[in-house]
Chain A
């Protein structure tokens, strides 16, 4: 038996979470600016996240894009009585998303280095720093396991379990309030956290019913066994059953992704959480939703997926335009980024359900690139907010003059968000558009409106915060520090690299998309000139 690499990749951050939480709190805090124990906890968490990244890179290297569909598989009986197995395996899409997750977490930790500091004095909290970083690592572990699980029930468990650490991260750790009433901020945080939890739990409950329903039809939770049964023709699933089961799964994923009109939890959650946690939500956790649409909705219920396609495409289109328009109307920086993300998730879902190789490869690339670009934009926004203590756009102006590097990185993040050619998100957005257009020209054309709106909300945000006369409240704002540069520098480099040379990623993802397309028995439309011949 070979080394269980996938288990290790997920277990390492889980162990890291426990170790981080166990770092003893300091007894006295007479010296320096923070208790001694909290500094150790940060370093421990960072080291574990970096080690996880190394393991994820090992997965990436060991994975052979042209090989079997699921690789590095592990399989153990878990609850044999109910057919629940501990089954892991990755395809190209999973590998790409695991790599993204493992890459982003160290930056999230580094960016959130001081986010819990202001809670250390609070007497009623138990080790806030340890808790903050341990929860982040716990989320990482759950997310990675969700990308790895090839057993439906196992996936469900991790899909739901990640809500617990997320709930505490949103509800327990907000921005350092400045000027506003701390009690009021705490109420809003708590509202956002509960809204997050209720929405996702509601989705989860419906999915649970569908999971059980699937078991009663298929007699197994294993993806590979179900696929085998389907291939052998032994799987008996009535069309109406398939539709109901599809809806049950899709509903949960559409909440997580999120798809209009189930999106309203996201702006609350991203607005109230600290910037790194907001990145964790939108760049990492939400990706499980779109990932699961590809793997479970399309893989398990191909006919129902095709049946639902028209409605899903329209909802995705509404998300794209609605999210972008709402982003334009926001007065809060973080909520703006949240609505922008809703627009981007619309693109991802559009690409998935266009059911072409460009659309689905584009959607997968979009998941990765959106993670990078949102992380870049949101983390710099977080650096900005931490300096002034306000999330309101109107409280800023002229930052470019006093903090040119901060403004410059913010601009690059903005340009990535608007999918500028040359940066990574362009590749994925264009692939999604082309992939949609080849099958649904009208929807593809309407979606291009998102190109204009994307430029509108990002450039309006940049103009209002960074340009114009220097506002007195930002006049003494310091530029980016070394730690902050260490976060944003690599992200920008990666955005550039994947914009110019996305081939490693497309080669990784392409074969997996081919499998998904054969699941739903769809082929790319041929170009007119060839079709005529």
Chain B
């Protein structure tokens, strides 16, 4: 059975290779091939999953060693896979949602002349993402980690003719590279500490080293996670990444790739558990991002950017939960999975809306779309109810557990974290209700686009609506299913360990509080966007609104300090290199040789004569020396 693991990665990789190398001959069937490869990987995943269920909890981990990758001295990196419950969860999510989004893209990208290439990149993404979660050591994980980065780069910049898309793609890659520095240093630290960077040996020998070392490793891993998962302070790329086609936003920038940071932290749980200081930092990062993303999400009029803010915020929840240690890992992953369903569904819904609205993304120019797009409305609506945590739906189960765990952290910290998560829940309810109302309710506010085409909103084709319906099912039922008899906890416990947190508040109190803040959030949004008409031109807004529209100023900071500063630095260095370094070295050489006058003639044709004379000089010198030896 373990020999099948490599095939999970191989199927989409083969698809990508064939689609890229096949050229235009495959234009007509490329999308089908890509989808079949994704589905094949999903089929394999299901086979492996049923096999895994047949074995006892602590006997479920499978290993496949392919070959020795980089053997140099004590440095041994292998291409080897590990499929345990944690990887399996991701594999099912990645291939399942991935296949649905392939199907959706058939319709969504129908009129794009580069559709084959799009599917090639999607397949490439799947392969890299699967490699990331299946690797049995950190260096191979790094390959998948960067692989998804490249796929993301290619897909954000898929419409490269738009300068904004090309810039967004580059930005995403660069910010992620900053995170990669963290991953590199973490691996190097593991190597100097443990002499290896394979999961097994590293994670079982954390007791043999100092807490300081472990804290350093954990913080470097966190830096990597911040880059990939768009957590503060490396979050700035995610909003811009919405330049990519919407299926990409759904798959990569909502359901799977951006959650890789949560995977990394959960996988490295043993390291974090032994480094409480690092855990505190993780929790703080999660809490800050949770609020940061939610505030940004409240202010954006671009539907995709509002959802991107939401993604950031929800991943903040997951990171926070993972930072809580064994009381939180399971819920981080559970929220990750349910979020995968409803956020992918919401993005696909947004894409469906854009599809019907001449690619308009400004929600102020939507309104009343529920009558024109009933399927989109219902599926989006179910996703909406799930994400705000409407009792009984997926998001309710997973988010509620995180809030409980936050309180259970104990002490003042617990109260602060609990309050933050509750505030986040209220904000979530507010911004999602806002999106819902502005898009589907109220008066229609459509305007002709730049070419004067009046939008004719219509329901999307079946290939697009069916994936939305499937995801809506997940959004409704997944959370309940996972919580039934604590099945998700039992499933993951052998890998991540699990402890019941002891919350100062009873579960009933927390749940009621969650429901109350939810109602407050929904109510506030309704007062502002439901009760009165939405202005087509955004009002100036409060200081906070304006700051949130500008992503709370981080881009401005980046621009002034990093971009402008960097440009000045490189420009002055170019000058220094040209005048100073070149001049000093040439000058030294010239004065040493007493040749300054001749150097000036370099450009006047005497140069060759000079070179020849220097060669001649060398020859004479050699001859003289040899002669001296002989005499």
| B170 within 8 A of partner (CB) | yes
A468-B160, A527-B194, A529-B193 given; A431·B570 CB < 8 A: no
Which residues on the B side are within 8 Å of A201 (C-beta)? 611, 614-615, 618
Q: Mark B66-110, 1 if CB is under 8 A from A, else 0.
A: 011111111100010000000000000000000000000000000
In the complex, what distance in Å separates the CA atom of A460 from the CA atom of B180?
A: 19
Is the CB–CB distance between A430 and B161 below 8 Å?
no
Query: With A459-B170, A469-B161, A527-B195 known to touch, is A194 a contact of B205 (CB < 8 Å)?
Result: no
**Would you list which residues of chain B between 94 and 145 have a CB under 8 Å from chain A?**
139, 142-143, 145
A357 within 8 A of B: yes
Q: What's the least CB distance linking A492 to chain B, in Å?
A: 11
Q: Give the contacts of A233-280 with B (CB-CB under 8 A).
A: 260-262, 264
Near B by CB (< 8 A), chain A positions 497-517 give 500-503, 506-507, 510
Q: Mark A171-193, 1 if CB is under 8 A from B, else 0.
A: 00000000000000001001101
Q: What is the CB-to-nearest-CB distance from A106 to chain B, in angstroms, rounded to a whole number?
A: 23
B194 touches A451 (CB 8 A): no
The answer to whether A434 and B571 touch (CB under 8 A), given A79-B626, A194-B602, A463-B170, is no
Known contacts A420-B150, A468-B161; A431/B192 CB under 8 A? no
Inter-subunit contact A326/B574 (CB<8 Å)? yes
Question: Are B72 and A362 closer than 8 Å at their CB atoms?
Answer: yes
Across the interface, do A330 and B574 meet the contact criterion of CB distance under 8 Å?
yes
Expressed in whole angstroms, the Cα–Cα distance for A487 and B468 within the complex equals 46
Tell whether A205 is near chain B: CB-to-CB under 8 Å.
yes
B188, B586, B605: most-surrounded residue (chain A CB, <10 A): B188
A187-207 toward B: CB 8 Å interface, digit per residue (1/0)?
A: 100110111011101101100
Query: How far, in angstroms, from A156 to B187 measured CA to CA in the complex?
Result: 41
Are A437 and B188 closer than 8 Å at their CB atoms?
yes
Binds A, one of B57-65, B171-179, B266-274, B283-291: B171-179
Interface size on A, residues (CB 8 A): 85
- Nearest chain A CB to B228 CB, angstrom units: 14
Residue of B79, B147, B196, B607 contacting most chain A CB atoms (<10 Å):
B607
Is B157 located at the chain interface by the 8 A CB criterion?
yes
Let me know if B47 is at the binding interface, CB within 8 A.
no
B566 interface contact, C-beta 8 A = yes
Interface string of A520-533 (1 = CB under 8 A from B): 00001111111010
Residue of B nearest to A164 (CB): B615
A468–B166 CB distance below 8 A: yes
In the bound complex, how far is the Cα of B181 from the Cα of A466, in angstroms?
27
Count residues of chain B with CB under 8 A from any CB of chain A: 80
What residue in chain A is nearest B194 (Cβ atoms)?
A529
Within 8 A of A (CB), among B576-610: 577, 581-582, 584-586, 589, 593, 602-603, 605, 607-608, 610
Contact A502 B69 (CB under 8 A): yes
Chain B residues, CB < 8 A from A79? 626
- Segment touching B, from A51-59, A62-70, A297-305, A441-449: A441-449
The reply to whether the CB of B505 lies closer than 8 angstroms to some CB of chain A is no
Known contacts A421-B143, A455-B174; is-contact A191 B607 (Cβ 8 Å): yes
- CB pair B585–A433 under 8 Å, yes or no, is no
Q: A329 near B213 (CB under 8 angstroms)?
A: no
Task: Judge whether B571 and A329 touch: CB under 8 Å.
Answer: yes
Task: Give the docked Cα–Cα distance between A422 and B69 (Å).
Answer: 11
Smallest CB gap from A328: residue in B: B570
Q: Is B209 an interface residue (CB 8 A)?
A: yes
* Residues A82 and B73 in contact, CB atoms below 8 Å apart: no
Q: Say yes or no: is A167 at the interface (Cβ < 8 Å to chain B).
A: yes
Which residue numbers of A lie inside 8 Å of B, CB to CB?
A: 79, 81-82, 160, 164, 167, 187, 190-191, 193-195, 197-199, 201-202, 204-205, 208, 212, 215, 260-262, 264, 322, 325-326, 328-330, 356-358, 361-362, 398, 400-401, 408, 415, 420-422, 426-427, 430-431, 433-434, 437-438, 441, 444-445, 448-449, 451-452, 455-456, 459-460, 463, 466-470, 500-503, 506-507, 510, 524-530, 532
Leading 7 A-B pairs by shortest Cβ distance = A527-B195, A329-B570, A357-B73, A467-B166, A194-B607, A467-B160, A421-B143
| Pairs across A and B, CB under 8 Å, 23 listed | A197-B614, A204-B618, A260-B581, A322-B577, A329-B570, A361-B72, A362-B72, A421-B143, A431-B75, A434-B188, A437-B191, A441-B192, A448-B181, A448-B184, A451-B184, A459-B173, A467-B165, A470-B161, A503-B67, A506-B70, A507-B71, A527-B192, A527-B193
